[in-house]
Amino acid sequence: MNKLQELFKNKKSDILSIYFTAGYPKLETTGEIIKGLEKSGVDFIEVGMPFSDPMADGPTIQDSSEKALANGMNLDIYFEQLKSIKQDVYLPLIAMGYVNQMMRYGDDKFLQACVDGGISGLILPDLSLKVYEEEYKTKFEKYGLVNVFLVTPQTSEERIREIDAISNSFIYLVSSASTTGSKSDINQVQVDYFKRVKNMNLKNPLVIGFGISNNETFSQACDYASGAIIGSAFVKSVSEKNDFETISKFISIIRS
């Protein structure tokens, strides 16, 4: 059982995760942001791997990815930065990116680098259930890493149950069919969707992401899931400053 699995075993509600793009706003700020988030009381962190074609990401995260790449970020630096702070960080980290990044780096080399960098799991939106089962499940298990699948409003009940059967940490409940990005509220259509999935009584906890940006949307999401993930709103908050005071203030507002 890795850190991510332990978290969901021991905590059942109000789980807060933050996504940010490694190497943004500056190449060297990755470790500082992770440490600041941990001190601020975040439960786990998604560390984005900048990619030139981030199909699931909205404008804010796309822009941060482009700037991180322009700053010189690559996977070698990404893993080295994580490895350098591994002994100082205790909360679970998830690497979020795309299958092509793992394949180009080399599957085993990539997965070993995740372990060496203190990563507990992966979110790869373009990794299909079938490909994971046939090509990656055994490898992930070999390295003690979990794979987190995304579910959308269009995902059938049959497929959700298939995902639940193969998952062993949490299921990422995408709040809408759009890309990532801050939203001001959660509408009734989304609430109905959250209720529908919650009422399936799945074995894995649910965490809601995409469009969660403030205390109101975080609290609403936590009514229907074990927690929520905030990405674009946080990325915007660190675009000017990334000191601990800025990070702490952002998290305290979400938790208030």
Contact 204, 226 (CB under 8 A): no
Q: Classify residue 189 by burial, with Cβ atoms within 10 Å: 0-12, 13-18, 19+.
A: exposed
The average pLDDT across 34-58 equals 88
Q: Which CATH number applies to 14-255: 1.20.1070.10, 3.20.20.70, 3.40.50.12780, 1.10.1040.10?
A: 3.20.20.70
Structure-token match 């793009």, residue found: 21
Query: What ranges do the domains of the chain cover?
Result: 14-255
> What distance in Å separates the CA atoms of residue 69 and residue 50, rounded to the nearest whole number?
6
Per mean pLDDT, which range of 53-62, 89-98, 146-155, 174-183 is the poorest?
A: 174-183
Per mean pLDDT, which range of 45-49, 73-77, 79-83, 176-180 is the poorest?
A: 176-180
The average pLDDT across 46-63 equals 82
Spell out the residues 6+ positions from residue 40 whose beta carbon is closer than 8 angstroms to its own. Answer: 244, 247, 248, 250, 251, 252
Q: Three-state secondary structure along the chain?
A: CCHHHHHHHHCCCCEEEEEEECCCCCHHHHHHHHHHHHHCCCCEEEEECCCCCCCCCCHHHHHHHHHHHHCCCCHHHHHHHHHHHHHHCCCCEEEECCHHHHHHHCHHHHHHHHHHCCEEEEECCCCCHHHHHHHHHHHHHHCCCEEECEECCCCCHHHHHHHHHHCCCCEEEECCCCCCCCCCCCCHHHHHHHHHHHCCCCCCCEEEECCCCCHHHHHHHHCCCCEEEECHHHHHHCCCCCCHHHHHHHHHHHHC
The average pLDDT across 75-97 equals 97
Structure-token match 């959308």, residue found: 152
Question: Confidence class of residue 182 from pLDDT cuts 50, 70 and 90?
Answer: very low
The average pLDDT across 9-24 equals 96
Query: Over 80: is that where the pLDDT of 74 sits?
Result: yes
Question: Confidence class of residue 242 from pLDDT cuts 50, 70 and 90?
Answer: low
Model pLDDT for residues 110-129, shown as the tens digit of each residue:
999 999 999 999 999 999 99
Question: Confidence class of residue 1 from pLDDT cuts 50, 70 and 90?
Answer: confident
pLDDT of residue 90: 95
Look at 186 and 146; give whichever has higher pLDDT: 146
Average pLDDT, the chain: 92
pLDDT of residue 136: 97
Question: What positions carry a catalytic annotation?
Answer: 46, 57
> What distance in Å separates the CA atoms of residue 117 and residue 31, rounded to the nearest whole number?
11
Model pLDDT for residues 184-234, shown as the tens digit of each residue:
578 899 999 999 999 999 999 999 999 899 999 999 999 999 999 999 999
Residue 21, beta-bridge partner list: 48
